[in-house]
Structure 1
Amino acid sequence: MSRLVMKFGGTSVANVERIRNVARHVKREVDAGREVAVVVSAMSGKTNELVAWCKEAAPLYDQREYDAVVASGEQVTAGLLAIALQEIGVPARSWLGWQAPIYTNDTHGSARIESIEGAGIIEGFKRGEVAVVAGFQGVHKDSGRITTLGRGGSDTSAVAIAAAIHADRCDIYTDVDGVYTTDPRVVPKARRMDRVAFEEMLEMASLGAKVLQVRSVEVAMVHGVRTYVRSSFDDPANPGEGTLICNEEDIVEAQVVTGIAFSRDEAQITLRNVADKPGVAAAVFMPLSEAGINVDMIVQVVSEKGTTDMTFTVGSADYERAFAILDKIKAEIGFQSMAGEKEVAKISAIGIGMRSHAGVAACAFRALAEKGVNIRAITTSEIKFSVLIDEAYTELAVRTLHSLYGLDAA
């Protein structure tokens, strides 16, 4: 029998009626003769409510108890779905993270999966049961404490379980019917892609696309888990095809550019007249790293008279913290002044076809210039390039590049 993992997010299980709809999707696969494990998120909005309660109880709450509280959202959904499946004649039981068990490290609130023992779930398959697993959570083996995997952790749970039980594929059900060339709300001509390479999806997820969580794509790529993105709102009796995330060799003809991603959650910091000497870059970026602040685009101009200018980006949520850290060590680093800008956006073009085509980025720079869009910074890799621009031009830039690379739907 083929083995399948199905994952349903918060909007897909937002109420009991939607949970019944999920049960019908699961029954379709069971009736087709598959062994099925289902991974569920908390009902839409429930995790935010639980987090708010923790903050209300104590601003500086114990992270271990926080995990115990917020993990309860998925517990409720798993139990309700098991009940709904039983009601329509499908044998099922719920599994919590510690029951599976899904072992993680002890970084409460953002734990990483270390191993999964899937024997219990597989034994359930032999009894004809569907396993309904609470996503987003696990257990630290030594302490026995419940842990959670951070936002989007249910995606990671699903892919990791698929790898552990040697599933043929993992279907991620969301409120969209697949992966699009860009956000259809910004570009109405965006189209759904049939297939996307793991590397492309990893770049798209890390550069602003919200369809899949970055860590889930990493796990899928490492373990070669074929992953479909599908809509839970399709008719259970006649579901859409969705988008397959797969190995590069499974894509017959790769486009030069597969998709355009963008992020408005960016901020730019510029250090003026930084002392140009060994160790300065480390002095700037190590304190930010130690504070858990991720630095993305970095531009350093040519040295002049013993000084240089340095520009880089951080997430907009970290902007004030980064500014304060650098201001505190200004004398130690040796820069003259510091400037910042929060009204910026990062636009990225991604495609494995870039490896074999020259001038892909140059065409974009010319097209943006013709539209009057100024580029503040540029970074490139083998399969993507990103530009930092003023936020006001975000939609214009995305539409321009989407059309430039022939991604518009007919």
Structure 2
Amino acid sequence: MPTLVMKFGGTSVANLDRIRRAAKRVGVEVAKGYDVIVIVSAMSGKTNELVGWVNETSPFFDAREFDAVVSSGENVTAGLMALTLQEMDVPARSWQGWQVPVETTDAHAAARIEEIGTENINKKFAEGMRVAVVAGFQGIGPDGRVTTLGRGGSDTTAVAFAAAFGAERCDIYTDVDGVYTTDPRISPKARKLEKIAFEEMLELASLGAKVLQTRSVELAMRYRVRLRVLSSFEEQNDNAGTLVCAEEEIMESNVVSGVAYSRDEAKMTLLSVADRPGIASIIFGCLSDAGVNVDMIVQNISEEGRTDMTFSLPTDQVKRAEKALTDIKGKDLNYAELVTDMDVAKVSVVGIGMRSQSGVAAKMFKVLSDEGINIRVITTSEIKISVLIDRKYMELAVQALHDAFELEKAA
């Protein structure tokens, strides 16, 4: 039988009533003739509660025991989902990561999937099991200990299973009914997309759209896993949600498909840095070693052998970056001053149509200029243009760009 992967997030399994509702959706797909692999998250709020207990018990915790505790939330949901399906006369059983097995690296709390064994589950499918309910977010490390994949890891689990089992599709059920041209809370004109290309979704996810976890989109793009994002609270039909797929499946698309934003951005500038070969390597190597994720980078024109280096980073990594750069000042690196601006936001336009049409940047910059919004930093890629602006103008910028590129209209 064909295989379908269905993933239910924490809000979709937040209580027994919602688990029953999710189980009914699974039952519909079983009735269509699918063998179904269901990936479940912990009930909404449960992972945070478990993390809190660990932190209260042991501030400097053993990461292996951390994983043993926080992975338990998914185990509970998997068991309850399997029991609910059995009550509906659907042959189902629950699986923990080690039982599959989901083999991962040994980076506890941030493990990466290396291989998913298919033999055990396929054997049970052959024996008459119709649904395998798998605890998401977890696996087993080389040392035989339970590992977890980091926040959003259940999305990654779902896509990895779809790739390993050659699933027809991977449905991600969440509390939103698809991928929108921008955040509907900011622009009432935001439109739900019927389809979006992997590359566009990856850019939107990495730029602040929280519909899908970035690692899951990367995996889907690499293995060409068709994803469908849909709400577990809407009526079920075959055309619901948004399909994330290969570019070739999209007949026509707007030049710009979406406007993304991130308000949790900061800008740092190193003033009067020596302009010589290797200086950028020293700066960004130091930040990388400190676990700082740098995004936009600008180097000013050199004057008398000195230059300024500006970059953006998440606000919660500023102190880490400041410490790292302060520690090497006067040793590997000389600079006059380190200036931090915490009052900025990043706004981006994304679209595969930008590859073949010019003028997007010019239009974007004119729209922002007409609104009196000053651009601090600019970065571009083949299908994306991002700008750093004052945070107070973020919502205005998103609305203006959404209107200017007429994203409320279908292609």
TM-score (norm 2): 0.98
Q: Equivalent residue for 2:147? A: 147
1:239 to partner: Cα distance: 6.5
Matched ranges for 1:304-319 at <5 A: 304-319=303-318
Aligned partners of 2:299 and 2:164: how far apart in 1? 45
Question: After superposition, where does 1:2-401 map in structure 2 within 5 Å?
Answer: 2-126=2-126, 127-140=128-141, 142-236=142-236, 238=237, 241-332=240-331, 333-401=333-401
Deviation at 1:102, TM superposition (A): 0.4
Alpha-carbon shift at residue 129 of structure 1 (Å): 2.6
Describe the SS at the equivalent of 2:330: helix
Match of 1:154, SS?
A: helix
**1:38: Cα distance to partner?**
0.3
How many angstroms apart in 1 are the aligned matches of 2:138 and 2:379?
35
Indicate if the aligned counterparts of 1:177 and 1:240 stay in contact, CA closer than 8 A.
Answer: no
Between the aligned partners of 1:220 and 1:269, the Cα distance in structure 2 is: 34
CA drift at 1:335: 0.9
SS of 1:278's equivalent in the other structure is coil
Q: What displacement does 1:409 show?
A: 5.2
In the alignment, the residues of structure 1 paired with residue 269 and residue 381 of structure 2 have an alpha-carbon distance, to the nearest angstrom, of 23
Give the CA deviation at 1:254. Answer: 2.4
Return the offset for 1:398. Answer: 0.4
Question: 2-side partners of 1:340 and 1:367: how far apart?
Answer: 27
Deviations 1:8-59 (A, max 9, x none): 0000000000000000000010111111110000000000000000000011
**2:403 aligns to what SS in structure 1?**
helix
**Runs of 4 or more consecutive aligned structure 1 residues displaced over 3 Å after TM superposition:** none
Long gaps (5+) in structure 1: none
Deviation at 1:128, TM superposition (A): 3.3
Partner deviation per Cα, 1:282-335 (whole Å, 9 max, x = no partner): 111111101111110000011111111111011100001111211222223111
Deviations 1:106-150 (A, max 9, x none): 00001000000012112222213310000000001x310000000
SS of match in other structure, 1:331? coil
Partner of 2:406: 406
- Give, as a single letter, the amino acid of the residue that structure 2 aligns with 1:205: A
The CA distance in 1 between the partners of 2:185 and 2:110, in whole Å, is 30
Question: What CA distance in whole angstroms lies between the structure 2 residues aligned with 1:269 and 1:71?
Answer: 37
Whole-Å separation in 1 of the counterparts to 2:125 and 2:184: 39
Q: 2:30·2:130 contact (CA, 8 Å) conserved in 1?
A: no
Which amino acid in 2 is paired with 1:138? Answer: G
Q: Quick check: 1:230–1:240 contact (8 Å CA) kept in 2? A: no
| Distance in 2, Cα, partners of 1:330 & 1:397 | 37
Give unmatched runs, 5+ long, in structure 2: none
Distance in 2 (alpha carbons) for counterparts of 1:291 and 1:322: 7
Q: Indicate conservation of the 8 Å contact 1:209/1:262, yes or no.
A: yes
Distance (Å, rounded) in 2 between the aligned partners of 1:128 and 1:65? 33
Name the CA distance, whole Å, in 1 between partners of 2:235 and 2:89: 19
SS at match of 2:295: strand
1:156-195 C-alpha deviation (Å, 9 max, x unpaired): 0000001111111100001011100011111111010010
Tell whether the 8 Å contact from 1:190 to 1:409 is kept in structure 2 after alignment.
no
Asked whether the 8 Å contact 1:234–1:240 carries over to 2, the reply is: no
Q: TM-score, normalised by structure 1?
A: 0.98
Q: Could you report, residue by residue, the CA deviation over 1:52-95 in whole angstroms, capped at 9, with x for unpaired residues?
A: 00000011000000000000000000000001111111110000
1 CA distance for matches of 2:239 and 2:136? 24
Q: 1:313 to 1:373 in 2, by over 3 A?
A: same
Letter in 2 for 1:320: K
